[in-house]
Structure 1
Amino acid sequence: MSKKITIAIDGFSSTGKSTIAKLLAKKYNYIYVDTGAMYRAVTLFANKNNYVGVDFLRKENLVSQLPNISLQFKFNKDLGFAEMYLNGDNVEKEIRTLEVSQLVSKIAAISEVRKKLVAEQQLMGKDGGVVMDGRDIGTVVFPDADLKLFMTASADKRALRRYKELIERGDNVDYNDILFNVQERDRVDSTRKDSPLVKADDAIEIDNSDMGINEQFELICNLIDKKLVEL
């Protein structure tokens, strides 16, 4: 397939954006970029250095250390997708904890952090042939993306998915804590001053509250194939 487009997938937390994006990248042989993992890695760095916690944020300390934060995606052949590396260390599992989830919206709201990561994301996708998911891909990172999707689902359905995922991983978590986290992230992501979570005017909204992965995948593949024919 000679044509390569840019696919931007935005939406609320725990709507399965990353799962769908990985499947699409594999099918079309595109580069997959998990921007959420990048923000989670910076959050992990901030938490480990005592720059952020549930009740505090030392923004200036973190901003001063941004030049010392190196983020890389390294493809894991056994897993079939790229894992997140922070300053040379594989942090894929560490960044998926509830603790990081509770703090990531605070870090993502910092303008200096967004500026650094958006620049890196734009570099990764400058040649097209990329599937990127996050909160501001179709509005800020790639406002001219060929196909923009906006994923949404009810908060309780998203919390249940996240709960099952963490339980299967062996984490000791409470459903109500996760539901609160989902609702709080929605609030922070949608109301922050810098690049708030909003649906791009030309994005196609997909409510997957009652949709399985296969149904979503088929729907989106049809949209991609239609776009490729149009080009």
Structure 2
Amino acid sequence: MKPLVVAIDGPASAGKSTVAKQIAKDFNYIYVDTGAMYRCATLLAERNHLAFNDGKAIVEVLKNGNLTFRQEADGQHVYFDDEDITLAIRMPEINAHVSEVASLEEVRHYLVSLQQAYGEKGGLVMDGRDIGTCVFPNADVKIFLVASVEERAERRHKENLEKGIPSDLEQLKVDIARRDHLDETREISPLTKAKDAILVDTTGMSIEDVVAKIEGIMKEKEE
């Protein structure tokens, strides 16, 4: 049976990336972090002193380099050309502008084309905001993860502290609620649950429980 394409969507810090990485590892699938791709675009805009609403200019700097994912001893890292930008794309100044950059039609069109190329052969887990609705509308498995703003802020706060990234819990709550609004109301590929996606509320659930639930759904699909 052809390997599955698994689309995991949901708001910021719902646990998408953590869950998707574990599922990809368990099934020996490719994992693509689309959020990291938009964060890379935002980082390049900042470094090149581009306006965060200048989609054409941002795409040009993206095209001038090579965005790749590499599995390393401590997990997956994000590279642009030969520079490891894994931590740089998680800094507060990138958080503040990534939703704006991700809403640009030119940026989304370019990055979606890269994402679709990754999934041509199947055997892929991809997470983001519009994977099941836009990138892979015919995905074999579609999951929509949600969790309360409070729990998502606490998760991001803990993650930041563990990585040595400056973090303010109350500000994170504000930022996440703001990002939810921006993601849900943008004109291009807004965050929305696909009609055939399975809703999984991760509030109060462990990562292990969420992974087990989704992998159970995948195994049913394979039968």
| Structure 1 vs Structure 2 CA RMSD | 1.4
In structure 2, which of residues 88, 104, 108 is the aligned counterpart of residue 94 of structure 1?
A: 88
Structure 1 position 169 matched with structure 2 position 159: no
More moved, 164-173 vs 90-99: 164-173
Is the Cα contact below 8 Å between 1:74 and 1:84 reproduced in 2? Answer: yes
Task: Using structure 1 for the length normalisation, give the TM-score.
Answer: 0.92
Structure 1 position 67 matched with structure 2 position 63: yes
Output the CA distance in 2 between the equivalents of 1:71 and 1:104.
Answer: 17
Is the Cα contact below 8 Å between 2:42 and 2:97 reproduced in 1? Answer: yes
Structure 1 position 217 matched with structure 2 position 218: no
Q: Secondary structure at the match of 1:43?
A: helix
Q: Secondary structure at the match of 2:199?
A: strand
Output the CA distance in 2 between the equivalents of 1:207 and 1:68.
Answer: 40
Output the CA distance in 2 between the equivalents of 1:57 and 1:110.
Answer: 7
More moved, 10-19 vs 66-75: 66-75
Q: Secondary structure at the match of 2:96?
A: helix
Q: Deviation string for 1:177-199 (max 9, x for gaps)?
A: 11111011101111111100000
Structure 1 position 145 matched with structure 2 position 139: yes
Output the CA distance in 2 between the equivalents of 1:64 and 1:95.
Answer: 19
In the other structure, the counterpart of 2:37 is: 38
In structure 1, which of residues 101, 104, 127 is the aligned counterpart of residue 98 of structure 2?
A: 104
Q: Secondary structure at the match of 2:142?
A: strand
Amino acid at match of 2:222: L
Is the Cα contact below 8 Å between 1:42 and 1:69 reproduced in 2? Answer: no
Is the Cα contact below 8 Å between 1:51 and 1:59 reproduced in 2? Answer: no
More moved, 167-176 vs 56-65: 56-65
Structure 1 residue 208: Cα displacement: 0.5
Output the CA distance in 1 between the equivalents of 2:29 and 2:48.
Answer: 35
In the other structure, the counterpart of 1:188 is: 182
Output the CA distance in 2 between the equivalents of 1:190 and 1:173.
Answer: 25
Structure 1 position 23 matched with structure 2 position 22: yes
Amino acid at match of 1:118: V
In the other structure, the counterpart of 1:207 is: 201
Output the CA distance in 2 between the equivalents of 1:213 and 1:128.
Answer: 24
Output the CA distance in 1 between the equivalents of 2:201 and 2:172.
Answer: 20
Output the CA distance in 2 between the equivalents of 1:23 and 1:159.
Answer: 21
Structure 1 residue 167: Cα displacement: 1.5
Q: Secondary structure at the match of 2:97?
A: helix
Output the CA distance in 1 between the equivalents of 2:29 and 2:55.
Answer: 35
Structure 1 position 84 matched with structure 2 position 84: no
Structure 1 residue 36: Cα displacement: 0.5
Structure 1 residue 58: Cα displacement: 4.2
Output the CA distance in 1 between the equivalents of 2:5 and 2:54.
Answer: 36
* Structure 1 stretches lacking a partner, 5+ long: none
Structure 1 residue 101: Cα displacement: 1.3
Output the CA distance in 2 between the equivalents of 1:205 and 1:40.
Answer: 26
Structure 1 residue 12: Cα displacement: 0.4
Q: Give aligned-pair identity as a percent.
A: 44
Structure 1 residue 60: Cα displacement: 4.8
Q: Secondary structure at the match of 2:194?
A: coil
Structure 1 position 11 matched with structure 2 position 7: no
